[in-house]
Amino acid sequence: MRTQVGIVGAGPAGLTLAQLLHRQGIESVVLENRSREYVEHRVRAGVLEQGTVDLLVEAGIGERLQREGLVHHGIGIQFDGERHRIPLSELTDGRTIVVYGQTEVVRDLVRARLAEGLPLLFEVADVRVHDLDTDRPGIRFTHDGAEHALACDVVAGCDGYHGVCRPSIPAGVISEFSREYPFGWLGILADVAPSNDEVVYAHNERGFALLSMRSLELSRLYVQCRPDEDLAEWPDDRIWEELQLRLGLEGWTLHEGPVLERGVTGMRSYVAEPMRYGRLFLAGDAAHIVPPTGAKGLNLAIHDVRVLAEAIVAWYRTGSTTLLDAYSDACLRRVWRAEHFSWWMTSMLHRLEHDDDFGLKLQLSQLRYVTSSHAAAVSLAENYVGLERV
């Protein structure tokens, strides 16, 4: 088998890259080790920056997103028993965010690719990338019990944080920067209309909580928990009780409903530099992770593949490697801005177990500042909706 671009991973990064390349007449093969059912039901991110929405629309897969996505003009920040609104659009020349689940983005991309009869293989196993430092890199894998070899011009490592591409880079090439957080998020999808029409980030002495949604009928909620929290210890009643305690406000009701899905996510900041080795280009979570506070992970993944697709197209059209050579640096500028923003939002909003009252006072002071100072609110808002230039 031969293709132009071999893509490992059918998450948002891999699938969007394949779509962008296809629109420019470049062939690719996407290899995914999970089933279609699994990738289409893995509940994760939900907030899309306007730049992400624009790209998906331009890439020809935004039709349902434009119809069903919920356009939001602000977010809530809650602390000390009060909810404050950050009017994102007012503060950023009219920019907006769109609430549309990552599962829906993945479904739209998978459907578009399969409808065109383009190669996207699920449930591949034993994926190995090789000859990355030559101009004939390749991917070996098994599928339906048979061993396959795929020769490529370029390999795109879009296989997430636990993938095989980054670990295939020889030791010493990549520098890693990371931070672990001593907490996680317990997230639920609930069959109840969202109790607020905008996303609310809540600081509370019991720990952080987040109110979000997936549609006008489905709520998505999170509570800060231990990183190794045992879900068995969280029957529905306990989850709702904790959400009520952390999100509750005088004169406002958090409506409860059946829990459709639940999971615990650990939190990490991580960056691998450079995002390239020879003909292997890393994109999305394969190269960097942010803690979810601030909703940047998915948006960064989409930005990476926009830059990568443009570079690959330019290389095929002109033979020039200028954009490919600039890929890693171009992405890392935005990655580090998002790393800082996500770390900052996380530090400001979560209960730090070993923190003293000094830490708590600093958090509250910062929260008061971003909800009362125009300059501070603009800074939060422009990062949240996604900076046009970094």
Instruction: Return the active site residues.
Output: 72, 201, 292, 296, 384
Nearest Cα to Cα of residue 243 among 259, 266, 265: 259
Tell me the two tokens of residue 219.
Answer: 């709520």
**DSSP string over 148-205:** EEEE-SEEEE-S-TT-STGGGSPTTS-EEEEEEEEEEEEEEEESS--SSSS-EEE--T
Q: Segment contacting ligand DHB (CB under 6 A): 40-48, 231-239, 254-262, 353-361?
A: 40-48
Check binding of 346 to ligand DHB (CB under 6 A).
Answer: no
Backbone angles phi, psi at 245, to 5 degrees: -65, -35
CB closer to ligand DHB, 295 vs 308: 295
Tokens 């944080």 correspond to 161
Pairing mode, if any, of strands 288-289 and 175-190? Answer: unpaired
Nearest Cα to Cα of residue 142 among 162, 166, 122, 161: 122
Identify the three-state secondary structure at position 353.
coil
Alpha carbon distance 250, 271 (integer Å) = 42
Check binding of 12 to ligand FAD (CB under 6 A).
Answer: yes
CB of 320 to ligand DHB, least distance (A): 38
Write the binding mask 216 to 245 for ligand DHB: x where contact by CB under 6 A, - elsewhere: ----x-------------------------
Write the binding mask 88 to 127 for ligand FAD: x where contact by CB under 6 A, - elsewhere: --------------x------------------------x
Class of residue 43 by CB neighbours under 10 A (exposed 0-12, middle 13-18, buried 19+)? middle
CB atoms within 10 A of CB 78: 24
Check binding of 386 to ligand FAD (CB under 6 A).
Answer: no
Question: What does 212 interact with, of ligand DHB, ligand FAD, none (CB < 5 to 8 A by kind)?
Answer: ligand DHB
CB closer to ligand FAD, 137 vs 292: 292
Write the binding mask 241 to 280 for ligand FAD: x where contact by CB under 6 A, - elsewhere: ------------------------x---------------
Binding site for ligand DHB (CB under 6 A): 45-47, 199, 210, 212, 220, 292-295
Name the residues that contact ligand FAD, by CB under 6 A.
8-14, 31-34, 39, 44-45, 102, 127, 158-160, 163-164, 265, 284-285, 292, 295-298, 301
